[in-house]
Amino acid sequence: MNIRKQIAAANWKMNLSLQESKNLASAISQQDIDAGAGHAVLVAVPFPYLIPVQEILRSKSGYHVCAQNLASVNNGAYTGEVSASMLQSMSISYALIGHSERREYYHETNEILAEKINRALENGINPVFCCGEPLSVREEGRQNEYVEKQLTDSLSHLSKDQMKGFIIAYEPIWAIGTGKTASSEQAQDMHLTIRNWITKQYDADIAASVSILYGGSVKSSNAADIFGKPDVDGGLVGGASLIPDEFKAIISSLKKG
């Protein structure tokens, strides 16, 4: 039995029609998972598809629909935003927070993301906190301090209880949608850095309870190698999650036992 959840998370981004979404959700949910062994599948879909996809996944143990974002405030005059309390009212219990595309195109800072994490937790939503360095930082060899600062700025105010069972996705920006994957050794190295940060801030038991997912050009051909590393607890998958057989194979690559 794994000490923490092993998770395959799909990020559909801004893709697919409603009908295509339903078809894809139905297709991937054919893949059985061992929910009893701590395996889970999250499917992060555009806001309008949350309810229809939730309807399809509802009967599948261990499958959960996931928002791709939420607002940093709970309600009010914020045209176009969707709040954590709205998601809670729809029984949505997971949300991506801080994906690099949100950071880059919508200027979400570490401080704004700390607020988003707070709104999620206040409303019973499990955040999937995304972090990761750009290529220039990796080339200078400063990736560890860069990611540690993202964690410190956005998460270090959380209590032990809030950090227990938390989900973090490490996604090096240079590997997202580029076809360039971090090697399994590079992934393991950063995941250990993240787990050590949690141990330092909280304690070893809390660190052992946190699922740390790898994201960046994961596909069926590299998933088992990456997920097999001791501190990698599954993946956050963009492009390959839109191809049913690819994502089903990725789900079946989650670490057993």
Please give the residue ranges that form the binding site for ligand PEP (CB under 6 A): 11, 171, 176-177, 215-218, 236-240
Which of 176/198 has CB closer to ligand PEP? 176
CA distances from 61 to 5, 34, 73, 141, 180 (A): 14, 9, 31, 42, 33
Question: Active-site residue 99, yes or no?
Answer: yes
**Least distance to ligand PEP, CB of residue 199, Å:** 26
**Least distance to ligand PEP, CB of residue 23, Å:** 20
**Least distance to ligand PEP, CB of residue 59, Å:** 27
**Strand-by-strand arrangement of the 94-97 sheet:** 63-66, 39-44, 6-11, 234-237, 211-215, 167-170, 126-131, 94-97
**Least distance to ligand PEP, CB of residue 250, Å:** 10
Annotated catalytic residue: which of 101, 108, 148, 171? 171
**Closest C-alpha among 251, 232, 233 to residue 241:** 251
Which of 53/213 has CB closer to ligand PEP? 213
Instruction: Select the residue whose beta carbon is closest to ligand PEP and give its number.
Output: 238
User: Encoding tokens for residue 115?
Assistant: 């607020």
**Least distance to ligand PEP, CB of residue 57, Å:** 19
Question: Residue type at 91?
Answer: S
Which of 62/216 has CB closer to ligand PEP? 216
Which of 157/180 has CB closer to ligand PEP? 180
User: Encoding tokens for residue 242?
Assistant: 């839109």
Which of 184/199 has CB closer to ligand PEP? 184
Annotated catalytic residue: which of 39, 64, 99, 191? 99
Question: Active-site residue 171, yes or no?
Answer: yes
| Residues marked as catalytic | 99, 171
